[in-house]
Amino acid sequence: MRNLTVSLFLLLVCAPLYAARSTAIRNETATVVSVATHETPTNYVGDSPTDAPLQVQSYSYDITLRTGCASYITEYDTPIDYLPSAFVAGGTLDIVAKRHTILANLPTGEEALLIIHHRRRFLDSGCSNN
């Protein structure tokens, strides 16, 4: 009887809380503020640059996004030297901001994963404290 009571409690109380939490993620429209190539510094200190160890060729970009109440400094990594045309300063994107990442919905229907390095909330009168 006790197991049945605990199961019913979890089903009736915790399930709606989980459902409300999962629907709290919402799409926002973000404006691309700036786009720059991310430079990875070398840690080689020596006499001749030809003696430096080989480094993996990576293509990454620092992208700053601004929503109504927040600003995000993100990094977009790609295996090839290709930056989607949606990432242009002054352009807008539909995004879903999570804790450490942002999913940007591109006009082609694809999603781009951006890693959040820094986020800043604005305390304007129109912004809520979520």
pLDDT of residue 17: 59
Q: Is the pLDDT of residue 14 over 80?
A: no
List domains and CATH numbers for the chain.
26-38+55-121 (2.40.50)
If DSSP codes are grouped into helix, strand and coil, which group holds residue 99? coil
Helices (H), the chain: 2-9, 15-22
Q: Is the pLDDT of residue 1 over 80?
A: no
In whole angstroms, give the CA distance from residue 112 to residue 60. 13
Asked if 103 and 116 touch (Cβ cutoff 8 Å), the reply is no
pLDDT tens digits, residue range 55-67? Answer: 767 789 999 999 9
Least-confidence region, from 28-37, 42-51, 52-61, 72-81: 42-51
pLDDT of residue 57: 74
Q: Centre a 10 Å sphere on the Cβ of residue 87 and count the other Cβ atoms it contains.
A: 19
pLDDT tens digits, residue range 91-106? Answer: 999 999 999 999 999 9
In whole angstroms, give the CA distance from residue 80 to residue 6. 53
pLDDT of residue 3: 64
pLDDT of residue 79: 85
